[in-house]
Amino acid sequence: QLQASGGGLVQAGGSLRLSCGYSGRATFSNYNMGWFRAAPGKEREFVAAISWGGSNRYYADSVKGRFTISRDNAQNTVSLQMNSLKPEDTAVYSCGADSGSITALDPSKYNYWGQGTLVTVSS
């Protein structure tokens, strides 16, 4: 139901834009959406989340000021604009959908996950 795309190889300081498309029976705007990442050998960690209507956005401290999450409920997509990328941003990035009433930052609260997309930042 969720399909992430947009990953790739980029030099430090560069930018990438990830997209996640939703296809399911439920209305996309029923879900809060989040981006998480898992670096090699590390657990999945929170990156950014956006409430169902787009009015509330949350970021991990490590990406604040560099990444921007947005959504288009008409197109059933959520995006992550990543600027000023650093080698430590290298990870598999996944999008998740959360049907809770409060936007969750904990991946265990998310109901659905898309396959990840690999982002590699070279120094």
Closest CA to 96 of 43, 62, 41, 45: 45
Closest CA to 82 of 4, 24, 29, 22: 4
Closest CA to 42 of 92, 116, 105: 92
- Alpha-carbon span 88 to 75, nearest angstrom: 31
Provide mean pLDDT across the span 9-22: 98
Q: Residues 69-117: pLDDT tens digits? A: 999 999 999 999 999 999 999 999 999 999 988 888 999 999 999 899 9
Average pLDDT of the residues of the chain: 95
pLDDT at 24: 86
Q: Residues 67-76: pLDDT tens digits? A: 999 999 999 9
